[in-house]
Homo-oligomer: A and B are copies of this chain.
Amino acid sequence: MQTEPRALNTVPFVSVENMMNLVRAVGVDRFLIELSEVIAEDFGRWSLFDKTPRVAAHSPDGVIELMPTSDGIAYGFKYVNGHPKNTKDGLQTVTAFGVLSDVATGYPVLMTEMTILTALRTAATSALVAKHLMPSGSRVMALIGNGAQSEFQALAFKAICGIDEVRLYDIDPTATQRCAQNLAGRGLKVTACGSAQEAVLGAHIVTTVTADKTNATILTDNMIGEGVHINAVGGDCPGKTELHSDILHRSSIFVEYPPQTRIEGEIQQLSADHPVTEFWQVITGAAPGRSSDKEITLFDSVGFATEDFSALRYVQRLLKDHPHSEDLDLLADPDEPRDLFGMLLRAGVA
């Protein structure tokens, strides 16, 4: 029996280490800005996408989700978990990885860690949406919930929306302290606040990004004055909301994909026919964004598969100039495609 060398059909893999190398190579600000541009581009060609609500496996402690989408040329999916109790055991609440594939062949063309990438794409999406909806002259953002996503939100709103002050609040003061430390020296005035009420004082934008898996009330109606833009990030699965429903009734609500948001977002508190605007309509000009200085705009963000698709596309593009990837031996590649067993035979499997 002859042993022939096997021509490897490898898939570029971006490890956690290499994702950090990529972010380092281009810089966080530029990464967020360019990523938001790709996200905007994909929202702008919304109708091309095959849109499926995510496939979720719920358990008492959390959820594991698969989020696929395709534009007909490329196919992407993300694996992501959400387990709030994980932090008690020194683990991440959210970890993720993703794959981009070629629709014509079905072959994966990129695999990447997406824990860091999801944090960046969530922040880039929030800031992109805010850029279209926030009151003009927005400078100050309240940031309620100072966990793993908080610094990314602060930096995205600085880079993309021109925010120069963040007002932090978390029920855990050590979280606020760490967030403030991480943001020090990055061109933002950072104010640690003793309550959510204090944090929203003077804020043009209010971002909520807490992790409790409950119907919480992070913001009550009296805390939100006219003209504010609310970026509600943390309420993102059934039974997990952050805003009092009175705020929702006063707001113009913008969402990613209604079939998913009505199940997972803040608007799970509202009737199924409550009017919402899809953000792609704002991007393409099919619907107006903010219509007055007094309007309260609300982005009910749950994260949608197209944003991950955009992030995968952006990473694929970055790799051309910054080859921070490894070759993953993921795809069996026999010399003759129908001779899979022959490949085993030639490898000495008898």
Contacts and interface: CB of A to CB of B under 8 A. Distances in A.
Contacts of A61: 103-105
Given A55-B55, A148-B340, A349-B23, A331 B105 contact: no
Given A15-B330, A23-B349, A81 B64 contact: no
B17 A329 contact: yes
Contacts of A50: 57
A247 interface: no
A82 interface: yes
- Copy tally for this chain in the complex stands at 2
Interface residues of A, number: 82
Contacts of A82: 106
Nearest to A181: B342
A106 B77 contact: no
A57 B79 contact: no
Contact of A113 (B77, B147, B330, B339): B330
A323 B83 CA distance: 29
Contact of A340 (B83, B116, B338): B116
A340 B115 contact: yes
Interface in A282-328: 328
A347 interface: yes
A125 interface: no
Contacts of A270: none
Interface string A143-184: 000011111100000000000000000000001001000100
A16 B329 contact: yes
Contact of A329 (B15, B101, B332, B333): B15
A344 B152 CA distance: 11
Contacts of A175: 338
Given A16-B329, A50-B57, 12 more contacts: A16-B330, A28-B349, A52-B55, A55-B55, A57-B70, A61-B104, A113-B329, A116-B340, A119-B341, A150-B341, A178-B339, A182-B339
